[in-house]
Chain A
Amino acid sequence: MSKLSTLINQLASYIVIVSIFVMTVVVIVQVFCRYVLGFSIFWSEELARYLLVWTTFLGGSVAYKKAQLASINFLAEKLPARPRALVGILAQIMALTFIVVAAYYGFKQSFSPSVTMQVSPAMRLPMTYAYLAVPIGFGIIMIHSIENLYKHILLALKGNEVAG
């Protein structure tokens, strides 16, 4: 699980790097074309928007893995080790509820007829590719989160042994 989580995170990081690069270049080139060459790339805005969607959810998984998502930790940190581990387990389970709902319904929606039949206005890209960002991002977050949960449980058990 831990290996899987690391591997996927690396992959997600690469995609985020490429995605930021491409969206920046596309928008700059679009401005250049409009003012200097006198024509517009009609699909540039759409591509940049979908890249932003993918960056949001894949980048979100990278930020989650690195524990960079803003959270309020100072309350839990005041607790002694064992209750803290228990609070950590509870927090992971609660967060997982949301993550699983987002991933499950995200997949369901991406493959629902109303989405699969739909293509994007400019690039004629099936909308499934855009919508999939949500479930794939949250799917990855789920993997990281389960790994975190496992770590917290180990920590709680260890605390037990020390206490016992």
Chain B
Amino acid sequence: MIITVAFMVFLAFGIPIAFVIGLTGLTHMLLTGNYTFLQNVPQRMFVAADNFNLLAIPFFMLAGELMNYGGITIRLINLARTLVGHLKGGLAYVNIYTSMILSALIGSANANASAMSKTLVPAMIKDGYDKEYSTAVTAASSIMGPIIPPSMTMIIYGVAAGASIGQLFLAGIVPGILMALAFSVLTFYYARKRNYPYKKRRAPVRSILKALFSAIPALLVPIIMMGGIISGVFTPTEAAAAASLIAFVIGAFVYRELKLKHLPQIFLSTGTITASIMLIVATANIFGWVLAIERIPQAFAEWMLSISSNPIVVLFMINILLLVVGAVMETFAAIVILVPVFLPIITQLGIDPIHFGLIVCLNLVIGLITPPLGVVLFVTSAINDISVERLTRAIVPFILASIIVLFVVTYLPDMVLYIPRMFF
């Protein structure tokens, strides 16, 4: 209990989350008088960071940065625009589907949200959409980023649960498409209700072909990546490294927007963003270790299974719990700390860890757009200069739509596991 209070206080004081988690673990060691545990602090962090699977994080990050500098993002938006721009509320659909394609290139909601905020939100406002809706649709669609492969969140889940990252990636495809559909239904409704603008004419076939042709090299990146993982040519980490190489070649030699002088900046920001994720993973490992020593996961499993041993009920309880956790806690820390806590329950109930991975990821990414601490809310509200309060009101329908998708995914495991079963 004291630990929970300490955690909240550290957090409220504005200490970086990575240190908050480490400090909470440290507080527990000091309170229980286990001073010998202190020497495990660096040890646990080292072990957490020393992981070949986690190398995929800097590589996917690098690929994303290279694609941004190389002009790949813009070409994808153009393609989506020629395809669905003529529908009523066209730019909102463009936003959702560009985000979906972008999610197949970069694995992080924040990167997705900021790329889209800079490019598409100004265009939407210029076309007469209100700022609330434009920002809300951008923020909401960005959470497809960690669901549609590749995904940083799933890499970290895979490492924490010892599950196949390749299978997790494949399992994300159907839920990702479901989210895009759910958001499209919302857009369809609002576009009619609020009479959102649209282009009278469908884009001519020639310009569609032109946009498609110019986007083909960009679309190669996810195809080679997923193809490589499915066929077993690459591990996910190697696929990510290959993706960076392809993104570099396309940006530098095909689109010719990426210059050699950009590289140090790209490498540095890749390094610092990677480090800020990895530090959280590292310190969360201290905290997780403390929990394991105290046998908290076992106690928690016993408690939960004493309430019910029906998978439907247990999954319902876990969903509610994770939605709350996702709204107040950093995603990666939540995974590293909580997955080992839930895993005994999941195994006991015979739930597939890949299916459970999708449930965990969906819960936590919904937290990214849920107040009070949804990171994506803060990122998009800062870039688009709109208050978090106004944005929150506009985003509530999207949160509800995502929760519906979450429950569909929770109770239809076969749908989620259909694609991974085809290949593995």
Contact = CB atoms under 8 A, between A and B. Distances in A.
B58 A75 contact: no
B17 A59 contact: no
SS class, residues of chain B in contact with chain A = helix
Interface in B23-43: 23, 26, 38-39, 41-43
B271 A59 contact: yes
Contacts of B22: 98, 102
Interface stretch (B48-56, B295-303, B308-316, B344-352): B48-56
Interface stretch (B72-80, B96-104, B204-212, B272-280): B272-280
Given A16-B267, A17-B264, A101-B41, A75 B12 contact: yes
Contacts of A57: 49, 275, 279
A102 B49 CA distance: 14
B327 interface: no
Q: Which among B26, B276, B373 has the greatest number of chain A C-beta atoms within 10 A?
A: B276
Given A24-B62, A31-B241, A101-B38, A59 B14 contact: no
B238 A27 contact: yes
Contacts of A134: 42, 45-46
B424 interface: no
B405 interface: no
Q: Which among A35, A48, A58 has the greatest number of chain B C-beta atoms within 10 A?
A: A48
Interface string B233-256: 110011001101100000000000
SS class, residues of chain A in contact with chain B = helix
Contacts of B317: none
B15 interface: yes
Q: Which among B18, B49, B51 has the greatest number of chain A C-beta atoms within 10 A?
A: B49
A20 B270 contact: yes
Contacts, number: 183
Contacts of A19: 271
Nearest to A30: B238
A133 B26 CA distance: 20
B267 A20 contact: yes
Contact of A35 (B54, B233, B274): B233
Interface in A64-85: 64, 66, 68-73, 75-76
Given A70-B17, A95-B23, A49 B52 contact: yes
B19 interface: yes
Interface string A34-67: 0100000000010011101101111110111010
A105 B237 contact: no
Given A72-B12, A94-B10, A105-B42, A53 B19 contact: no
Contacts of B50: 49-50, 52-53, 130
A98 B14 CA distance: 15
A39 to B, nearest CB: 16
Interface of A: 13, 16-17, 19-21, 23-24, 27-28, 30-31, 35, 45, 48-50, 52-53, 55-60, 62-64, 66, 68-73, 75-76, 87-88, 90-91, 94-95, 97-99, 101-102, 105-106, 108-109, 130-131, 133-135, 138
14 contacts: A16-B268, A20-B267, A21-B267, A23-B58, A24-B59, A52-B58, A56-B275, A58-B271, A60-B18, A63-B279, A72-B14, A90-B13, A95-B19, A98-B23
Interface of B: 10-20, 22-23, 26, 38-39, 41-43, 45-46, 49-52, 54-55, 58-59, 62, 233-234, 237-238, 241-242, 244-245, 263-264, 267-268, 270-276, 278-280, 282, 330, 373, 375
